[in-house]
Amino acid sequence: MKLAIIVLEDEPPVRDAIARDLQEFSGEVRVEPAEDVPDARELIDEILADGDVVALLLADHRLPGETGVDFLVSTMDDDRMASARRVLITGQADHADTIRAINVGGLDHYIAKPWDPGELHDVVREQLTNYVLDQGINPLPYLPNLEMDRAITAMRGFSLTD
C-alpha cells in the first residue's frame, strides 16, 4: 500500500515545480499531479483502485471551475478521503475562503506562494507522519518519507517481537 500525495494545481509550470520539489518523496510514496478538480477525482479513483491510499491533498485555491477550497470541503464527506491531510498552497485565497477551509475543509496547513522548497518538504513530511500515526499504520515501509524520530518512536507500539 502506497501513500499518495495529490498535487492539485492548474498552471503546468507551477505544478511541475511543486512535483519537482517533492521528488525526494519516493519509494512507498507516490506524488500524483492533477490539473483541475475533475482530474483529481479521477486520480483518486485510480489510486484507490490500485489498493493505495490518499494521504495528502496539496491544493491550489484558484482553479478553473471548482476551487481548491471547495474541493477540500467536498472531500470531507467522502469516507475514503476524510482522513487525508489537507494543505492549501496558494497566494490568492481571501479571508473568507481561508476561514471556510479551516472550519469546514479540515485544513491542516497553509503555505503561501511563492513557497520555500525547504518549508514544503517539512510540511509534507510532517503531514505524512501525522497521517500514518493517526491511522495506526505501521510506519516501517514509509520511514524514509516520514519524520523519522516520531515515526520510529511510534514503532514501539507495533508489537514487533525480538
Partner 1 sequence: MAAQVPTRLPSKTRVQKVGLAIAIVALIGCLFIQVPGLEPVGVRMLGIFVAAIALWVTEAIPLAATGVGIILFQVLLISSDAVLPVPETAETSASFFANLANPVIILFMGGFMIADGAAKYGLDKNLAAVMLKPFRGSARLAMLGLMLITALLSQFMSNTATTASMFAVVIPILASIRDPKMRTGFALAIPVAANVSGVGTPVSTPPNAIAVGMLAQNGIRITFLDWALMALPFIIVMLMMAWLLLVALFVPKGVPMELNLKADFNRSPAAIVFYLLAGGTILLWMSEPLHGINSSIVGFIPVVGMLATGVMTGRDVKQLSWPVLWLVAGGIALGSGVRATGLDAWLLGGIDWGSMSAVVFLVAVALVAVVMGTFISNSATANLIIPLVLGPSIMVATDDVTLAVVAALACSLGFALPISTPPNAIAYATGHIPQRSLMLVGAILGIVGAIFLALALPPLWAWMGLT
The answer to whether 26 and 57 are in contact (CB under 8 A) is: no
CB-nearer residue toward partner 1: 38 or 144: 144
Question: Contact between 104 and partner 1 (CB under 8 A)?
Answer: no
148 sits in which H/E element: helix 148-155
135 touches partner 1 (CB under 8 A):
yes
Among residues 56 and 93, whose Cβ is nearest to partner 1? 56
Cell 519524520 sits at which residue?
Answer: 147
Q: Does 95 participate in binding partner 1 (rule CB under 8 A)?
A: no
Q: Which is nearer to partner 1, 79 or 94 (CB)?
A: 79
For cell 524514509, the residue is 144
Point out which span in 15-23, 54-62, 109-117, 131-139 binds partner 1 (CB under 8 A).
131-139
Q: Which of 38, 78, 83, 103 binds partner 1 (CB under 8 A)?
A: 83
Q: Which is nearer to partner 1, 95 or 156 (CB)?
A: 156
CA–CA dist 156, 152 (Å, integer): 7
The reply on whether position 140 binds partner 1 by CB under 8 A is yes
Contact pattern from residue 34 through residue 73 relative to partner 1, giving x for each residue in contact according to CB under 8 A and a dash for the rest: ----------------------------------------
User: Which residues here bind partner 1, judged by CB under 8 A?
Assistant: 83, 134-137, 140-141, 143-144, 148-149, 152-153, 155-157, 159-162
